[in-house]
Structure 1
Amino acid sequence: MDLLKFSLGVAVLMATALPAAASSSPWADSEGGRVRLVTTGTADASGRLSGALHIELKPGWKTYWRDPGASGVPPQIDITKAPGITKAELSYPAPGRHDDGYGSWAGYDRTVALPVTFTVANPKENTVIEAGVFLGICQTICIPVQAQLKVDPGVDAGNAEDAELVKSALASLPQKATDIFGAKTLPGEKDKLIVEATAPGVAKSVDLFVAGEQGYLFGAPTRAEKDGKIVFSIPILGRPDKAAEGSGLPYTLTAPSGAVEGLLPYP
C-alpha cells in the first residue's frame, strides 16, 4: 500500500476510555467500523486471561494482518497504562490477500476478532485493563485508528456472550503445521526466500503468508508448481542490521481445507 495513499487518511480516532459495563469495553467508533476489547472474565491460576480485539468492519472496508506490507499498520496493543498486566500477546486468524492497485497485502475484509492473551501479575486480584489500541482500517484510503479501551474483567465475569466471542476467536486460529500440511525453506538466492509448501486440496488455491518481523521486510510471493510441489518465491526487501533474535519467521499456510501456522528459519 502506498505511503502517500495511507497518509491521506490521517484522521486518527481518539477514543476516551469509558467505564466498562461488562467483561468488554465500550465500542470505539471510526469511519470504517468500530473496535472493542472483550475478555472472558477472571485470569486462571497461572495469570493467563483470554480476550479478543473485536474489529467490526463496515462493508467494503478492510484491516491488516500481523504483517501489513511495506507501509500499512499492523494491529498493536499497548498495556503501559495497565500496571497489573505484564504482557499482552495478539494472535491472528488466517488472512486473505488484497490488492488495492498500489500493492498486495495481507488482511481481513470482514469483521474479525483477534485473540489476545493477557498475563496478569497477581491472578488472585482483580485487575482493570487499560489498553491503547492502534490499527489501520482501509477502503480507498486507510485511516489509522487509535483508541484507549478500558475493561474490568471482574465485572459481569460470567457474561456468556463475551465468553462465546472469545471462544470463537480462539477456534478461528490456524492449526499447528505438520509434515502433510506445512512449509519449509529451500536453498535459494540471497535476495529471495524460497519456500516449499505441502497442503491438501487444489494446489492453485494454496497461499502462503510470511510475517516480516525482527527487521525483515518481504514482498508479495510468486508461486510455481514443480515436480508436484508448490514452491513460493518471496522477495527479501529488507534485513535486520544484526542477527535476528527469536525462534523464526511466523507463517500461515492456507488451503480450501483450512489453515496452519508455524515458523521458518531466518534467511
Structure 2
Amino acid sequence: MRLVALSPDDQGRIRAALQIEPKPGWVTYWREPGDSGIPPQITLAADSGTTLDKISYPVPKPIAIGPIQEIGYDEPVTLPLDLKVAGDAKPAKLDLTAFIGLCKDICIPFQASFSLPLSSAAQSEPEEVAVLDATAATLPKPPSPDFSVESHSLSADGKKLSLKMTLPEAAGDAPQIYVTGPSGYVFFKRMNDKRDGRDFQTDIMIGRLPKTYDIKGKRWDILAIDGDRAIETTLAFD
C-alpha cells in the first residue's frame, strides 16, 4: 500500500488517497464486501490534528467465489480520502493506519501505518496531483437526466425494494445495482427485471435487517452500473 497526500489548502482540506495493489489472483474489497471479506478501514492517530470526512470508492466489480458473492477489486485500486484539519494549526505530517482485507484461497487481514510529511511544497508535486486527479475520474458520478433512479419503495414486510430507473442506453443487459443499508448490509440479489428501452424496473431482495430496525427517516445509498457508466445516489425513506 502507498499513501499519497497534499498539504492542507486554505480551507484546511487535505486531498489524499490510499493506493492498494493486489497481486494477480488476489482481491480486495469495496466499502461493503458482500457475502464475505473485509472493507477498508482508516484510523487517524489521536494527535494527528486531522479528521477523516469520507473514503470514496471507484466502481467495483462482482467477484464470485463458488456460491459466495463478493464486491471489490481484482486489480490495483486507489481510494480517495477527504481529510480536514481539526484545529487552526496545520499539521506537519499525516499519521494514519490502514487496515484492509486481501483474499485468494484464504483471506488475510493486512495493516500498514503511514507517517507522511505535509510540506507546502507537496501541493505542487505533479506526480501526487496526477494520481489524485486520475483517481477522481474513476468514481461513480451523481445522477443525471439520462441516468437516474426515478422512484423507489420498500414493501410493507421490508423484504423487497422496488426500483424504477432511467438508463443511459436504449439497449443492453440489466445494470449492476448495489444498495447499502445499515452498516454491514448490502443488497444486490434481484428479481422481476424488466428493461424497456431506457426504462428499467427491478426488485431488490432485502432479506433480513437488524432486529427492531426502523426504516422511517433513514437514508440508504445505491450504486448503479450500466455499461461504462456508473452513478451513486441516496434513497430516502421519509
TM-score (norm 1): 0.77
**Is residue 64 of structure 2 the alignment partner of residue 96 of structure 1?**
no
Would you say the 8 A contact 1:64–1:106 is kept in 2? yes
Rounded to whole Å, the distance in 1 between the matches of 2:26 and 2:216 is: 35
Residue 31 of structure 2 aligns to a residue whose secondary structure is coil
Structure 2 counterpart of 1:186, one-letter code: S
Q: Assess if the C-alpha contact under 8 Å between 1:87 and 1:120 holds in 2.
A: no
User: Do structure 1's residue 239 and structure 2's residue 210 form an aligned pair?
Assistant: yes
Find the residue that maps to 1:250 and give its secondary structure. Answer: strand
Say yes or no: does 1:190 pair with 2:155. no
Aligned-pair distance for 1:166? 0.9
Q: Any conservation in 1 of the 2:15–2:81 contact (CA below 8 Å)?
A: yes
Whichever residue aligns with residue 175 of structure 1, its letter is: K
1:236 alignment partner, SS class? coil
Match of 1:106 among 71, 74, 78: 71
User: Are the structure 2 counterparts of residues 111 and 245 from structure 1 closer, same or farther at C-alpha, using a change threshold of 3 Å?
Assistant: farther
- Alignment partner, residue 251 of structure 1: 222
Task: Please give the alpha-carbon distance, in whole angstroms, between the structure 2 residues aligned to 1:190 and 1:46.
Answer: 43
Give 1:177 deviation, angstroms: 1.3
Q: Hey, what does 1:142 align to over in structure 2?
A: 107
Structure 2: state its 5+ residue gaps. none
| Alignment of 1:204 onto 2:173 | yes
The answer as to whether partners of 2:79 and 2:135 remain within 8 angstroms in 1 is yes
Q: Which residue of 1 aligns with 2:190?
A: 222
Q: Which moved more, 1:224-233 or 1:173-182?
A: 224-233
Cα distance change, pair 243–230 in 1 and its aligned pair in 2 (3 A): closer
Task: Give the match for residue 81 of structure 1.
Answer: 46
- 1:161-220: CA deviation from partner (whole Å, max 9, x where unpaired): 1111111111211110134312242343422222233212244151111123346x2444
CA contact (8 A) 1:128 1:152 kept: yes
How far residue 74 of structure 1 moved from its aligned partner, in angstroms, is: 0.7
Give the CA deviation at 1:82: 4.1
Counterparts in 2 of 1:128 and 1:152: CA distance versus 1, 3 Å: same
SS in 2 for 1:176: coil
Displacement of 1:221 in angstroms is 1.5
- Structure 1 224/123 Cα, relative in aligned 2: closer, same or farther at 3 Å? farther
What is the CA–CA distance in structure 1 between the aligned matches of 2:218 and 2:134, rounded to whole Å?
28
Partner of 2:118: 153
Measure the CA separation in 2 of the matches of 1:90 and 1:105: 19
Equivalences, count: 231
CA separation of 1:123 and 1:53: change in aligned 2, threshold 3 A: farther
Q: In structure 2, do the counterparts of structure 1 residues 232 and 106 end up closer, same or farther at CA, with 3 Å as the change threshold?
A: farther
Secondary structure of 1:57's partner? coil
> 1:26 maps to what in 2?
none
Residue pair 1:196, 1:232 contacting (<8 A) in 2 also: no
Q: Which has the higher strand share?
A: 2
Partners of 1:100 and 1:67 lie apart in 2 by: 16
The answer on whether the counterparts of 2:178 and 2:187 sit within 8 Å (CA) in structure 1 is: no
Q: Following TM superposition, by how much is the alpha carbon of 1:241 offset from its aligned partner in structure 2, in angstroms?
A: 3.9
- SS at 1:150's partner residue? strand
Q: Distance in 1 between matches of 2:217 and 2:75?
A: 31
Secondary structure (helix, strand or coil) at the match of 2:134 reads helix
User: Gapped runs of 5+ residues in structure 1?
Assistant: 1-34
Cα contact 2:85–2:91 (8 A) shared by 1: no
Deviation of 1:77 (Å): 0.3
Q: CA RMSD in A?
A: 2.5
User: Secondary structure of 1:168's partner?
Assistant: helix
Counterpart of 1:262 in structure 2 is 233
Higher RCO (C-alpha under 8 Å, 6+ residues apart)? 1
Q: 1:105 to 1:163 in 2, by over 3 A?
A: same
- Give me the TM-score of the superposition, normalised by structure 2: 0.85
Cα 1:190/1:88, change in 2 over 3 Å: closer
